[in-house]
């Protein structure tokens, strides 16, 4: 039975920290294939994303194209939440993915920060019965997440122009689309 990972996020923008997680998931054989799923309307955030859902999807596709072929061949951007109208609930995404991968184990990859809010997730008990959670440790967060040497990169500092921790193709996209006003 293969393991299909779901790595969701706002990805506003997708950055080198995300790409490190993706690379580690594949290199360490934690999943056999990985679906990167940009959130349509993220719910448990203080602010709405600056980039549109379509721009965030495009940045994810560009970033994945920058990965080595052996990694990139096992990863795809799935637009399910970008195309959905209304709020994006993880359980809805998992139910849809499970229909396409009926015999596989679904692994939901989340950061330590998201793990701290699991009790706020929609239909969390049902979700726990459908997936295996893989919690990735993050710098600055206490807890028992998997240590994969996560990079201390934050999308907030990129949006504020205080960091340039994105792939070159994503940096070009940000400049060409005048995202984040920096």
Confidence of residue 47 (pLDDT cuts 50, 70, 90): confident
- Residue 44, pLDDT above cutoff 70: no
Confidence of residue 182 (pLDDT cuts 50, 70, 90): low
Q: Is this structure's pTM higher than 0.85?
A: yes
48-83 pLDDT, tens per residue? 789 999 999 999 999 999 999 999 999 999 999 999
If you ran DSSP here, which 8-state letter would residue 137 be given? P
Beta-strand relationship, 105-111 and 33-38 = unpaired
- Residue 141, pLDDT above cutoff 90: no
What are the domain boundaries of the chain? Answer: 3-181
Q: Which CATH class is domain 3-181?
A: alpha beta
Task: Identify whether the C-beta of residue 68 lies closer than 8 Å to the C-beta of residue 144.
Answer: no
Residues 7 and 5: their CA atoms lie apart, in Å, by 6
84-132 pLDDT, tens per residue? 888 878 999 999 999 999 999 999 999 988 898 899 999 999 999 999 9
């Amino acid at each position: 039975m293969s393991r299909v990972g779901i790595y969701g996020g706002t990805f506003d923008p997708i950055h080198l920290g995300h790409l490190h997680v993706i690379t580690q998931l594949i290199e360490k054989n934690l999943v056999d294939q990985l679906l990167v799923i940009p959130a349509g309307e993220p719910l448990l955030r203080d602010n709405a994303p600056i980039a549109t859902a379509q721009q965030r999807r495009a940045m994810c596709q560009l970033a994945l194209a920058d990965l080595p072929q052996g990694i990139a061949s096992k990863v795809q951007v799935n637009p399910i939440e970008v195309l959905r109208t209304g709020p994006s609930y993880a359980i809805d995404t998992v139910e849809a993915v499970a229909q396409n991968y009926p015999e596989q184990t679904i692994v939901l990859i989340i950061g330590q920060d998201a793990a701290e809010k699991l009790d706020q997730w929609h239909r969390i008990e049902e979700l726990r019965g459908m997936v295996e959670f893989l919690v990735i440790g993050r710098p600055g967060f206490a807890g028992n997440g998997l240590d994969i040497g996560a990079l201390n990169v934050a999308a907030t500092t990129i949006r504020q122009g205080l960091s340039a921790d994105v792939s070159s193709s994503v940096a070009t996209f940000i400049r060409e689309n005048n995202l984040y006003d920096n």
